[in-house]
Structure 1
């Protein structure tokens, strides 16, 4: 592996999409890592994408991993395709960054973790790389709030209940693995866990309150089986209590709100929506003082020019992946971490189905 990490993206098309909107600006901002190649779904699509982005293009992952310039395969496609596209890269022993969710379910995530033995892996839970959450993690480690008493999350998404596009329709189908529980809740709760630790036991209630959703531009509705109400209460390893309520299709209210109460103070964290990719505001109070705005120290943000964009946290994640690959460190979540997160989501699903409290082994 050279001094510059070569990236091959699966899912970078000529027509745009998440890889073009988020990954390309992030890669362009980070020194020591660059786009070297891409893979598309067909020879025709590969030719078009290669011409659009100016790099070699392949019609399969098997061909992509044979490119000597590719040191890292990035899988940025829909969740149902992850397994089939990740396995060839792992078999070739090429490091992989997979977008989150890693897999359709816990069993598939565990299969991918086992297949990755001996190969570096990364998962796109980029909230852990975001400047604000790295700073908040340090504040917690410095005992800004003292011993944590409770953590309260109230969050929402305009999706999963509001109108949907044809492109986003698959997220309404619970079987497709890209639901509010796995995507919006999964990203948010991972960032929360960075600050307060993991749940050891929980009880959950979920519901699908809007079983029909408007399909944009058609005048008709389509079915939704994904949960649009998720309520979780549980105990953290520290003994503190965590409660979280995620609401789909909301018309107003906070997109994300976290309150951490401790024996010495309080932290209030808010974002207009998904905190892993959106700007975060922080208020804090020590003792009985009223909460006041806290400013992010400049040293946490290496790419301020991307602030407010979908690429901001991702650029910091790419920089950390570069360093992990070059120096053998392990700061970015890997497939083992993804399995732990899938295990949490599986526990929520099982608790909601049975009405029973579920213990987790993290």
Structure 2
């Protein structure tokens, strides 16, 4: 794609939002796209955002059908809270627009299936915000695994803190408390991270899952930062799965906990093969691998030492792997937009579509089934 595409952005707030921190910095400096319309819950809110971010000559709307029918919009980008995704995405698809939607695609599998089928029926292009796949460290990990440097993958372990659902919750995230909203530890931080795992290593079979809501009452923090009582939640704050890689049988363990780490261990991912081991470690809040870049280190096995017969003095040192630095919050999102425009495909970046999102929704549904029934579940 060489011509500039016009974007109708839903969810850009003058008060600050994910869209203003991630999409906007990229979209305002690229020549590949141009924001031509905004839609918020009210026209006044959209106008305020246009003024705040110096978006001159953009159309402003309060109705998703209006922005969807704007002839000066080629792509509708939906960057709002998860419970609103379905209602705001469907009119754009029905109007035949190309559509970007943040991950998760919808509140549940049924809504995701409907939107994916509608996009297919309309023949439009889609992109989903699973931008951990664009993280330079994840791209490098995939490159190393596919190069064969690690040999046959034997096992992988991922552990992360999801930041959300620690002992306190901010007033702005109250919508995530009910499990029905689909905006929780399992769907968001875990969902992004396990999608990166599957992107690097392949899909997982025979999933056995444990879910827990260990903190069903949280301390509410008001907009002023002061305590505002307690609130109940039904969404889970701990998730743990085991399974095997579908393409080779390597054992998979993934655990995510709520809140932040007290031991500076917010993200740790180890991939062990017959010939080497790869370790990705995140900074504070690094459990959100779609936003924060982990370091990456590699240890190669000594070919003269049997893998399981190594003595303590035969251990190999982890060596840092050089990798491109993600310079800002919008980096991974920008690479995703680049890929949609056909840029950077030769560097390991690719377009993640509604079909990819649907597969991940099927995985999450399998995790819910396994945890509820105590069974091994599959989704592919």
Same fold (TM over 0.5): yes
Aligned to 1:226: 235
Q: Check 1:146–1:2 CA distance in 2 against 1; reply closer, same or farther (3 A cut).
A: closer
Alignment pair present for 1:265 and 2:276: yes
Q: 1:247 aligns with which of 246, 251, 257?
A: 257
1:29–1:315: 8 Å Cα contact kept in structure 2? no
Q: 1:331 aligns with which of 350, 365, 378?
A: 350
CA-CA distance at 1:2 after TM superposition: 6.7
Bigger mean CA offset, 32-41 vs 239-248: 32-41
Please give the secondary structure, in 2, of the residue aligned with 1:200: strand
Q: Check 1:162–1:312 CA distance in 2 against 1; reply closer, same or farther (3 A cut).
A: farther
CA-CA distance at 1:323 after TM superposition: 1.7
**For residues 60 and 375 of structure 2, what CA distance do their matches in structure 1 show?**
50
Bigger mean CA offset, 271-280 vs 204-213: 271-280
Q: Give the greater-gyration-radius structure (CA).
A: 2
Aligned to 1:286: 300
Superposed CA offset, 1:220-239 (max 9, x none): 11112111111100011111
**For residues 358 and 198 of structure 1, what CA distance do their matches in structure 2 show?**
13
2:336–2:350: 8 Å Cα contact kept in structure 1? no
**For residues 36 and 210 of structure 1, what CA distance do their matches in structure 2 show?**
44
**For residues 5 and 162 of structure 2, what CA distance do their matches in structure 1 show?**
35
Per the normalisation by structure 1, the TM-score is 0.92
1:12–1:19: 8 Å Cα contact kept in structure 2? yes
Please list every run of at least 4 consecutive aligned residues from structure 1 whose deviation after the TM superposition is greater than 3 angstroms.
none
2:363–2:378: 8 Å Cα contact kept in structure 1? no
Superposed CA offset, 1:317-344 (max 9, x none): 11111228x9xxx931111111100011
Aligned residues: 349
**For residues 191 and 29 of structure 1, what CA distance do their matches in structure 2 show?**
27
CA-CA distance at 1:67 after TM superposition: 2.7
**For residues 35 and 86 of structure 1, what CA distance do their matches in structure 2 show?**
17
Aligned to 2:244: 235
Please give the secondary structure, in 1, of the residue aligned with 2:127: strand
CA-CA distance at 1:172 after TM superposition: 2.2
Aligned to 2:171: 166
Per the normalisation by structure 2, the TM-score is 0.88
| 5+ long unaligned stretches in structure 2 | 303-315
Q: Check 1:64–1:141 CA distance in 2 against 1; reply closer, same or farther (3 A cut).
A: same
Bigger mean CA offset, 234-243 vs 25-34: 25-34
Aligned to 1:143: 148
1:129–1:332: 8 Å Cα contact kept in structure 2? no
**For residues 295 and 17 of structure 2, what CA distance do their matches in structure 1 show?**
28
| 5+ long unaligned stretches in structure 1 | none
CA-CA distance at 1:98 after TM superposition: 0.2
